Every structure is written in C-alpha cells, then in structure tokens.
C-alpha cells in the first residue's frame, strides 16, 4: 500500500467517524424535540362521537395546541406562557370530572363567575341570549332527558359541596323550589362545557363544570377525515371513497 492509499484510508475513516458522530447528534436532537417538546406543543386526537356535530364529525382527526393555555411545570402548579385564558367559544380537549381515563372534546360556553341557564333551545350567559345558531344544532329525538337547564340532568355526578346542593335535587323538587328556574354560577377555576350537538351531548349539564387544570389544549385544525364506521379494513376502495377531502385542513373556529 503506497502513501496515497494510506492517506485516503485515514481520510475515509475520519469522514465515517465524523458522519457517525453527527448522525448521533441529530438522532438525539430529534428524540429531544419529539419526545420532550412535542407533548407540550401539539397532539393529535380522533373524534369518536357525534356530540360536536356539525363542527366536528365522527372520523375527524384533529390537532390540538397544548401550550395555548400555558405549560404546566411538572410536579408544580406553576404555568408558564399562559397568555390565553380559557374563553367562551373555545373548542377544547380535557379530562372530565366523571371519567379520568378518556379525553373529551366540547366547547366552552361559560367561564368562572358567569351565570348560565337554558330556556328551550336558547342558551343564556349572564342573562344574555347566546347567538349560536350557526354552529349549535338540536334534534327532535334525543336519548338524553329533555327539559331546561338547570337542574343538572344527572345530579349524582355533582361534587358533594354546599355550592351544588340546589342542583342535586330531582327535577320535580327543583321545579317546586325554583319554579322560574335558577341560573348556575360557574365556580372559580372552572369552565362549563357543552357539545355543539346540544341534544346528543353528555357534557357539563350532566357531570358538572370542568377544572381548568384538566384542560389539555385547544383544537385548531382537522388534518384528516374519513367516515369508516361501516367499512371493513380490506375494502380499500370504500376506504378511499370515504375520505372527506373537503374537511382536510379545515380550521376549527372559536366563537366568542
């Protein structure tokens, strides 16, 4: 082996070493970015029910901004970058008080200090009727018990504290005590959640308000949508045909 070949061999080994070290650095950087930063930035969810129709449909896959309400420092109650507080009209993902194993998605209709009630199909917040006809819908037949809110539809979900005593009555007891109805005041640190499909939604009317600390983030976009409820996985032509191309990239608007 001559001197040129020896020099070339050393250069090749050096180059391989440098490339391998750079590759390691890049891999570690990707792990850090997607393993540690991603959980604080954005997360994908799939819509499993029709409680938010027609804003969100079964089979929609959405992106949720996780830092919009701030990032909680692990092991503490301290939040940073919390420039946007939960607001009326936000479509948000959260852990409900009655089911700590599943994520729910609804719309915030009232925040702490607000009073809320319904009369027929009209929602009132702080005594004013909410103009929600362009995104909320009602159906003629519902599997949820009808009637105005309050009272809560399922009072057994309510916290056992004094502020909820008036809402733990049966419907007949409630009507006798408050014949004209009584607006509900949202407690501190809570928000009131309702589905846009008002008559087909299990929400805060059933299991009470949502703790702000249980909010995962705000939904902002549909990145994929397909109606595959009655399609077998091997029926490829149906899978393709059921893709809702007109919904891909659709923004999820907050109606404040």
Q: Is the same domain home to 92 and 214?
A: yes
Same-domain check for residues 26 and 76: no
Range of the domain at 124: 42-247
Residue 216 belongs to domain with CATH number: 2.10.109.10
Helix (H) or strand (E) holding 125: strand 122-125
Instruction: Name the nearest CA neighbour of 117 among 150, 146, 144, 87.
Output: 150
Residue 229 shares a structural domain with residue 131 = yes
Question: Is the same domain home to 49 and 2?
Answer: no
Whole-number percent of the chain with pLDDT over 90: 34
Average predicted confidence (pLDDT) for the chain = 76
Over the stretch 67-115, which tens digit does the pLDDT of each residue have? 888 877 777 777 777 778 999 999 999 999 888 899 999 999 999 999 9
Domain count, the chain: 2
As a whole number of angstroms, the distance between CA 202 and CA 51 comes to: 8
| pTM exceeds 0.85 for this model | no
Using alpha carbons, list the distances in angstroms from residue 110 to 27, 94, 187, 192, 195: 45, 15, 10, 5, 13
pLDDT tens track for 200-225? 888 888 788 899 999 999 999 999 99
Q: Do 2 and 75 belong together in one domain?
A: no
Looking at the structure, tell me whether residues 22 and 58 fall in a common domain.
no
Asked if residue 6 belongs to a domain, the reply is: yes
Distance CA(167)–CA(181), nearest Å, equals 11
Enzyme catalytic residues: 51, 106
Residue 130 lies in a domain: yes
> Residue 126 has which token pair?
């702080």
Residues 131-140: what's their mean pLDDT?
Answer: 87
Q: Do 17 and 53 lie in a common domain?
A: no
Cis geometry, peptide bond prior to residue 102 (ω within 30 degrees of 0)? no
The pLDDT, as a whole number, for residue 56 is: 96
Any domain includes 253: no
Question: What are the tokens at 178?
Answer: 């408050």
95 and 26 within one domain: no
Question: Domain check: are 59 and 155 in the same one?
Answer: yes
Q: What tokens were used for 190?
A: 């809570």
Are 169 and 88 part of one and the same domain? yes
**Under DSSP, is residue 93 helix (H, G, I), strand (E, B) or coil?**
strand
**In a 3-state reduction of DSSP, which class is residue 53?**
coil
């Amino acid at each position: 082996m001559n001197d040129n070949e020896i020099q070339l061999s050393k250069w090749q080994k050096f180059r391989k070493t440098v490339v391998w070290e750079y590759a390691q650095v890049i891999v570690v950087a990707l792990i850090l970015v997607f393993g540690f930063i991603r959980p604080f930035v954005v997360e994908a969810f799939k819509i499993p029910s029709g409680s938010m129709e027609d804003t969100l449909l079964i089979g929609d896959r959405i992106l949720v901004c996780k830092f919009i309400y701030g990032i909680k420092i692990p092991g503490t109650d301290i939040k940073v970058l919390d420039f946007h507080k939960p607001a009326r009209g936000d479509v948000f993902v959260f852990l409900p008080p009655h089911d700590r194993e599943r994520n729910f998605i609804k719309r915030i209709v009232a925040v702490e200090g607000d009073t809320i009630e319904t009369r027929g199909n009209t929602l009132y917040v702080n005594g004013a009727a909410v103009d929600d006809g362009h995104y909320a819908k009602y159906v003629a037949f519902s599997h949820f018990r009808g009637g105005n809110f309050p009272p809560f539809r399922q009072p057994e979900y309510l916290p056992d504290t004094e502020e909820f005593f008036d809402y733990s009555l049966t419907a007949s007891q409630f009507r006798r005590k408050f014949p004209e109805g009584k607006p509900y005041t949202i407690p501190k640190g809570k928000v009131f959640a309702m589905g846009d499909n008002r008559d087909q939604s299990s929400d805060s009317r059933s299991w009470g308000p949502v703790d702000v600390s249980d909010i995962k983030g705000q939904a902002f976009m549909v990145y994929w949508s397909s109606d595959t409820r009655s399609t077998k996985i091997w029926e490829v032509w149906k899978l393709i045909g059921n893709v809702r191309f007109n919904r891909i990239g659709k923004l999820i608007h907050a109606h404040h």
